[in-house]
Structure 1
Amino acid sequence: MEDKTKIRLTAAEMSSLWTQYMNDTVSICVLSYFLNHTDDKRVNEIVEFALNASQKNISLTQEIFKGEGFPYPIGFTDKDVNVHSPRLFSDTFEMMYIRHMSILGMAANAAAIGLGTRPDVIVLHKSVLKSAIQLQDMTRELMLEQGTYIRPPFISVPDKVDFVEKQKFLSGFKNRRRALTSVEITHLFMNIQTNQIGKALIMGFIQVAQDKEVKGYLQRGKKIAQKHVDLFSDILKNNDIPAPMFWDSAVTDTTTQIFSDKLIMFHVSAMIAAGIGNYGAAMAASPRKDIGIQYASLIPEIALYAEDGANIMIKNSWLEEPPMADDRDVLSGQK
């Protein structure tokens, strides 16, 4: 019987493996630091579970890389974090952070499974997906018990099945605005919450970053996140829907260096990329024109912010190059 693990990796498989490896190296740094600063025993157990999962992912990915003669990405190491530095984030924020990261992990690995071919690659992504789902369950259960879990808004159950009969369903201007759909509410809620988490994370990073240009970049990101929170919150409030609470108080006052500027920039860049994807999905799921236009107007802003971040990383030799296709012009001597 043919050994299907001997089939070459596809571009999609290389991409998912490389990205997973890089993200896990960041997670190990962040979670190792969290583990030294948790007060609650159950929070500690969840952080430890997440850390062990990331370490397992690294081992599984390295096995595949080794079999392919694929050089391990450098990623991030213990040189990029000081786990003995003072506390920067609260237990509550750590749970919100892990929960948010597990949501991103579920989405990325579900897509990787759909695009994967080789059995060993599929096994890896199934393992990551299973751990992400477990983290969702663990964080949800604990946060519900503690009263720190923020539920999406409630709306009334429909009386009957109905169909759209008027074009005003698509309009969103002046006095022609209809009520928000449950899908639109969900995306607005999620994008408020992710921006709040991003803002709190950036606030902490600003305090511990060393490079002035990085600090300035993070200050700009903080303002962008707050602006987007306000815009999305106003849409909910103007439709008599409650907006989720803020998490600013989750950051302590320490200014001791904890994470390398390289790690900080990579982490922020990864969250921006996820945010752009969220906005695109929200825009596609929002038939009301004013909401779709709002998302469309914000995507270029964060795309430009992401580009400026990439330029800082390139300038400092912090941006590790992902696997790339062969440049046939170079190989043929035309460049």
Structure 2
Amino acid sequence: MTQGKAISSAELATLWMTYQQKTMILRILEYLIVAADDEDAKVILQDTHTKVKGYLERIKGILKDEGAVIPVGFTEEDVYTGVPKLFDNHFDIMFLRLLKSISMGLHTLHLSMSYRKDIILFYKELAGFTQSVYDKCVDYLQQRDVLPSAPSVTMPTKVEFAESPNYMSGFNLFSEKRALNTVEVSFLHFAIETNVFGMQLMTGFAQAANEPEVKKYFVKGKELSKKIISDFSQLLIQSDIQPPSTWGAKATNSKVAPFSDKLMMYCTSLFCNFGLGSNAIGTAFSLRSDLPLALVEKAKDILTYGQDGGKIMAKNGWLEQPPGMEDRNKLIK
């Protein structure tokens, strides 16, 4: 229901982006619900599907009231239920957890970009719902011991301050690098954990993709994830820290696609953007001078990979354009 004030360009943009993401999640859930062989997992997936469908209807209502066209997003044509399982061992809830991790950041950002009260309330509710689903996923995975937790650490007994610029040292050839601090470890651990999952996701997508160019793109993504895992794990090992690993969410031997190439490409693009954001935050909070450079190098690789994916999507007619601003020069002509 309209609030008397037209939505801004920022609000239109965030609603459009949310619609794209939520229609993708809806399609993914439709496949996961049918494939689920654990009743507890199925309940989480079905409840999430019902709520997401309701939020999509609210977005449609806002756009309709504003006279805006409803985006295409992802439809029933982008999902193939009942096909052989492409992933096993709790992949469904691990996938949902990662999607909700991305959503939590997006909804908070979109809330800060909103001005109209009904849209602010919408994102508040969506953020709260997303957090509750994330909590359920974490509880489920921890109960089954498939979620690698961050390394343990001895609790500090006193406050310490850096006594010299040597604390920032990362490239000094004549002295050892200091041990990583907990802030740095947390970002490295998170990057490794998400890329371990991403490597399996890209493996499954590569096996199932229909277009040769898309298949090749997913193989490249798998290799990029392996490189990030290897390089960041080495940084942890240098400080005698065990890198995270999990036995769950492996790709099966199936070569039958549960999703369209379009959906899998968009999903990969979403994860690339998430990786870029995480790397940017990790760079900002890492105080050892070699770490920001390592993170920036990986960010460059992720950015290039994401741009290549955008070109493939555009070439195949899969890249739905966001609403544009008026082209005044074109109107004048």
Q: Which range, TM-score by smaller chain? A: over 0.9
Aligned partners of 2:206 and 2:219 also within 8 Å: yes
Alignment partner, residue 298 of structure 1? 298
Counting only pairs closer than 5 Å after superposition, residues 1-335 of structure 1 correspond to structure 2 as 5-173=3-171, 174=173, 175-246=175-246, 250-333=250-333
What is the CA-CA distance between 1:56 and the residue it aligns to? 1.4
Aligned partners of 1:208 and 1:257 also within 8 Å: yes
Aligned partners of 1:70, 1:91: CA distance in 2, in Å?
A: 42
Moved more, 118-127 or 24-33: 118-127
Per-residue CA distance 1:47-84 (angstroms, 9 max, x = gap): 11221122112111111111111111101111011111
Aligned partners of 1:85, 1:160: CA distance in 2, in Å?
A: 57
What is the CA-CA distance between 1:283 and the residue it aligns to? 0.6
Aligned partners of 2:181, 2:9: CA distance in 1, in Å?
A: 38
Aligned partners of 2:327, 2:64: CA distance in 1, in Å?
A: 24
Aligned partners of 1:61 and 1:124 also within 8 Å: no
What is the CA-CA distance between 1:207 and the residue it aligns to? 1.3
Name the TM-score, length of structure 1 as normaliser: 0.95
Q: Moved runs in structure 1, 4+ residues, more than 3 A?
A: 246-249
Moved more, 66-75 or 126-135: 126-135
Aligned partners of 1:214, 1:232: CA distance in 2, in Å?
A: 27
Aligned partners of 1:124, 1:276: CA distance in 2, in Å?
A: 26
Aligned partners of 2:327, 2:30: CA distance in 1, in Å?
A: 39
What is the CA-CA distance between 1:249 and the residue it aligns to? 5.9
What is the CA-CA distance between 1:176 and the residue it aligns to? 4.2
Name the TM-score, length of structure 2 as normaliser: 0.96
Secondary structure of residue in 1 paired with 2:263: helix
Aligned partners of 2:3, 2:247: CA distance in 1, in Å?
A: 46
Instruction: Mark the CA change 1:91 to 1:21 in structure 2 (over 3 Å): closer, same or farther.
Output: farther
Aligned partners of 1:47, 1:235: CA distance in 2, in Å?
A: 36
Aligned partners of 1:169 and 1:178 also within 8 Å: yes
Instruction: Letter of the 1:160 partner, please give it.
Output: K
Instruction: Mark the CA change 1:92 to 1:248 in structure 2 (over 3 Å): closer, same or farther.
Output: closer
Instruction: Letter of the 2:153 partner, please give it.
Output: I
What is the CA-CA distance between 1:119 and the residue it aligns to? 1.4
What is the CA-CA distance between 1:6 and the residue it aligns to? 2.2
Aligned partners of 2:266, 2:331: CA distance in 1, in Å?
A: 31
Instruction: Mark the CA change 1:264 to 1:216 in structure 2 (over 3 Å): closer, same or farther.
Output: same
What is the CA-CA distance between 1:287 and the residue it aligns to? 1.3
Secondary structure of residue in 2 paired with 1:324: coil
Aligned partners of 2:143, 2:304: CA distance in 1, in Å?
A: 41
What is the CA-CA distance between 1:181 and the residue it aligns to? 1.5
Moved more, 19-28 or 108-117: 108-117
Unaligned runs of 5+ in 2: none
Per-residue CA distance 1:169-202 (angstroms, 9 max, x = gap): 1111242411212111111011111111111111
Aligned partners of 2:217 and 2:309 also within 8 Å: yes
Aligned partners of 1:145, 1:304: CA distance in 2, in Å?
A: 38
Aligned partners of 1:168 and 1:177 also within 8 Å: no
Aligned partners of 1:207, 1:242: CA distance in 2, in Å?
A: 30
Aligned partners of 1:155, 1:332: CA distance in 2, in Å?
A: 65
Aligned partners of 2:257, 2:103: CA distance in 1, in Å?
A: 27
Aligned partners of 2:3, 2:168: CA distance in 1, in Å?
A: 49
Unaligned runs of 5+ in 1: none
Per-residue CA distance 1:149-173 (angstroms, 9 max, x = gap): 2211111111211111110111112
Instruction: Mark the CA change 1:183 to 1:36 in structure 2 (over 3 Å): closer, same or farther.
Output: same
What is the CA-CA distance between 1:324 and the residue it aligns to? 2.1
Aligned partners of 1:37 and 1:87 also within 8 Å: yes
